[in-house]
């Protein structure tokens, strides 16, 4: 799969392009309405200044996949295809960090440093997760800030994080308006101190501390591989990528090893020892994978010692990675079709820098000379990027030169770095987990404290006085009596808040059934003449006398009532010996005469009517109390009906 403008990642890989960082730098004082040549020249000048600022670090640091760099958009006056920016003057870049997450934060630290050194620029950084800087400071974010409200609100400016609040822009601001607000000193858009602290903790000591993420190892490799690594150490990134992302097709190249294990005439290649510097992620990707050496690859015997075997095995994986990467890119044939200068010159023509100029004229030559000078200067700072983008061409150049294996012999090589970090990272992981747990606990404690302040009234007694238990039964009765439309159950108008409320009808009736013991919706809706202020205990749930047609189908009504009465008496006698009746609150027992109670009277005294109102209130309040201040069905149901229960309701 060849690299294209829409897909800058040339290899089919197990890793999706989601492991990439995108960033853009905006010169705030540069107006977008400038003519194309003047705008392009201004961006070129800024580009060289920014690259030169980080040149010492970028020239020596090794990135896992791609180096940090900035480029000019193809057409500054058109929407950007890479960062989706509207036609606002800017520079942009993309960095694949792969499995090396530290590279992402190194790039972020460089953006913070650039905005400190150049106070008239602002920057943005995002990845596949969106505004990942906000994720790092998640526990300190205001509640209104979420992925939907974040676009065009988060910027890096003068070494600090800036967040545009909704009080300034209720709707998503345009990029131009957002940049103007960030640059306006009269508007304080700096993020809160807790957010700043969370980000600064993550990039503390960077990029200077980036060397801690590197690992140096001694390896035994074919001489061509050693020569390439000596001339261009950054190409180790492409070799490891080729090895780690190998597939069946590319492994065929490793089986032959035509480029790095065979000489021009087919003769063998000498094996030498050298040192390789790589990121820790690269080293882990090489060491932790089992890989059988290709047939014919010269490997030492295990009897020669474990140290030599490990050096040879690591070198074999690197050599195979170089072979697979080289042959695959060569097969694609994307390199060498045109020089980077030709590409750059065509981009100048597309942006209109030569409009109105005749080839050969003095002004035309001046524009060409300025462009060539910029091209040469920018190549000094982006040489690593050029090499990594066209490794085949550079490898051919290196191996076309005469070299001898003697330059790798007789030199004292430093020993390999200790790789205990690869196996003993438990302490570091536990420390990080403890830090995250501490942040979570502090966030939950602050959240609970805010909730308590909001829920505790100025006078608990006054709130309790205003609360009446009768409101629950009245509200429930009004709700059941309410005639609703086909769209679902509705809360009576005088019980609703001003805001619209959506009610899940099925869930509500499940709750009603659990409280009332299984009454049906038809029974609740059929009795329109019922007094709303009457007690639920007095409601007659027997609807057999409501419909004559229904009565005819059931037969004689009196006979049916007689049967139901007998059946109810028998059922009550059976239940009297169980504990079921103790689970309900009953109405007061009626007074009986003292002339000696009969068996029926004793049974009636034991099975007094259930007080439905009291049971309803008691069940709802018990459910509310069990929520312990958290959201739940009881508070939701009462809230919909406009009833506010005091926090100490259990004591009432």
pLDDT digits over 21-61, tens only? 999 999 988 876 777 778 888 888 898 899 888 888 888 88
Region 112-129: mean pLDDT is: 93
At 418 the pLDDT is 92
How does residue 214 score in pLDDT terms, banded at 50, 70 and 90? very high
Q: How far apart are CA 51 and CA 380, in angstroms?
A: 9
Q: Which DSSP helix (H) or strand (E) runs through 96?
A: strand 91-96
Are 632 and 642 a contacting pair, CB within 8 Å?
Answer: no
Residue range 564-588: mean pLDDT, rounded: 69
Give the model's pLDDT for residue 599.
Answer: 54
Which tokens is 340 given? 């980077």
The pLDDT of residue 320 is 96
**Tens-place pLDDT, residues 250-275:** 999 999 998 998 866 556 688 999 99
Q: For residue 595, is pLDDT > 60?
A: no
Please tell me what DSSP assigns to residue 485: B
Distant-in-sequence, close-in-space partners of 282: CB < 8 Å, separation ≥ 6? 64, 100, 215, 236, 237, 240
Q: Decide: 189 and 182 in contact? Cβ < 8 Å.
A: yes
State pLDDT tens for residues 616-644.
Answer: 777 777 777 777 667 777 777 777 666 76
Query: What is the reported pLDDT for 227?
Result: 94
pLDDT tens by residue, 532-569: 444 434 444 444 444 455 445 445 555 666 777 777 77
Most confident range (mean pLDDT) of 37-51, 288-302, 340-354 is 288-302
Give the 3-state secondary structure of residue 147. Answer: coil
Asked whether residue 381 carries a pLDDT value surpassing 60, the answer given is: no
What's residue 471's pLDDT? 65
265 or 179, which is more confident? 179
Q: What is the mean pLDDT of the chain?
A: 76
pLDDT given for residue 3 in this prediction: 38
Q: Rg of the chain's alpha carbons, rounded to an integer?
A: 39
Q: What is the pLDDT of residue 276?
A: 95
The rounded distance, in Å, linking the Cα atoms of 277 and 637 is 65
Instruction: Return the pLDDT at 41.
Output: 83
What residue ranges do the domains of the chain occupy?
20-208, 213-336+390-422, 426-455, 462-651
Mean pLDDT over 222-246 rounds to: 93
pLDDT of residue 241: 93
- Cβ(542)–Cβ(527) under 8 Å? no
408 within 8 A of 223, measured Cβ to Cβ? yes
């Amino acid at each position: 799969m060849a690299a294209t403008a829409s897909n800058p990642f040339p290899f089919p890989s197990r890793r999706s392009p989601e492991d990439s960082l995108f960033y853009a730098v905006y010169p705030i004082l540069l107006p977008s309405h400038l003519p194309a040549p003047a705008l392009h020249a201004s961006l070129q000048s800024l580009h060289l200044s920014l690259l030169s600022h980080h040149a010492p670090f970028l020239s020596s640091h090794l990135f896992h996949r791609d180096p940090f760099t900035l480029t000019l958009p193809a057409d500054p006056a058109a929407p950007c295809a890479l960062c989706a920016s509207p036609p606002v003057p800017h520079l942009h870049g993309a960095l694949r960090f792969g499995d090396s997450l530290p590279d992402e934060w190194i790039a972020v630290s460089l953006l913070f440093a650039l905005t400190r050194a150049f106070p008239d620029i602002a920057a943005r950084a995002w990845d596949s997760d969106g505004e990942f800087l906000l994720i790092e400071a998640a526990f300190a974010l205001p509640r209104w800030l979420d992925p939907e409200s974040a676009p065009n609100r988060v910027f890096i400016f003068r070494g600090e994080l800036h967040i545009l609040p909704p009080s300034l822009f209720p709707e998503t601001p345009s990029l131009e308006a957002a940049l103007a607000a960030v640059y306006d000193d009269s508007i304080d858009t700096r993020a809160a101190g807790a957010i700043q602290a969370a980000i600064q903790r993550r990039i503390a000591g960077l990029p200077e501390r980036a060397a801690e993420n590197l690992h140096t190892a001694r390896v035994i490799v074919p001489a061509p591989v050693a020569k390439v690594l000596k001339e261009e150490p950054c190409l180790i990134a492409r070799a490891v990528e080729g090895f780690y992302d190998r597939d069946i097709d590319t492994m065929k190249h490793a089986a032959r090893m035509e480029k790095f294990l065979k000489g021009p005439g087919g003769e063998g290649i000498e094996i030498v020892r050298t040192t390789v510097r790589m990121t820790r992620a690269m080293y882990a990707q090489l060491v932790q994978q089992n890989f059988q050496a290709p047939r014919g690859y010269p490997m030492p015997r295990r009897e020669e010692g474990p140290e030599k075997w490990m050096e040879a095995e690591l070198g074999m994986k690197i050599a195979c990675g170089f072979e697979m990467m080289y042959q695959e890119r060569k097969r694609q044939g994307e390199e060498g079709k045109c020089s980077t200068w030709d590409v750059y010159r065509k981009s100048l023509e597309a942006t209109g820098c030569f409009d109105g100029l005749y080839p050969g004229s003095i002004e035309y030559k001046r524009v060409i000379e300025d462009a060539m000078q910029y091209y040469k200067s920018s190549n000094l700072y982006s040489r690593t990027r050029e090499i990594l983008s066209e490794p085949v061409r550079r490898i051919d150049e290196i191996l076309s030169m005469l070299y001898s294996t003697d330059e790798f012999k007789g030199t004292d090589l430093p020993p390999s770095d200790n790789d205990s970090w690869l196996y003993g990272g438990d302490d570091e992981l536990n420390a990080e987990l403890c830090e995250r747990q501490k942040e979570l606990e502090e966030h939950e404690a602050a959240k609970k404290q805010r909730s308590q302040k909001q829920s505790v009234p100025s006078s608990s007694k006054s709130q309790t006085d205003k609360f009446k238990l009768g409101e629950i039964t009245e509200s429930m009765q009004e709700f059941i009596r309410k005639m609703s439309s086909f769209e679902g159950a509705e809360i009576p108008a005088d019980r609703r808040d001003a805001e619209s409320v959506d009610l899940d009808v099925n869930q509500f009736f499940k709750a009603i059934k659990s409280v009332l013991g299984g009454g049906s919706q038809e029974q609740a809706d059929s009795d329109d003449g019922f007094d709303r202020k009457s007690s639920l205990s007095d409601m007659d749930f027997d609807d057999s006398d409501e419909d004559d047609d229904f009565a005819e189908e059931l037969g004689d009504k009196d006979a049916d009532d007689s049967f139901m009465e007998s059946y109810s008496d028998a059922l009550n006698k059976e239940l009297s010996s169980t504990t079921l009746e103790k689970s309900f609150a009953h109405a007061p027992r009626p007074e009986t005469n003292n002339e000696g109670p009969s068996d029926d009277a004793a049974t009636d005294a034991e099975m007094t009517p259930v007080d439905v109102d009291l049971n309803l209130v008691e069940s709802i309040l018990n459910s509310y109390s069990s929520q312990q201040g958290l959201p739940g069905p009881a508070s939701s149901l009462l809230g919909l009906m406009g009833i506010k229960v005091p926090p100490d309701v259990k004591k009432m």
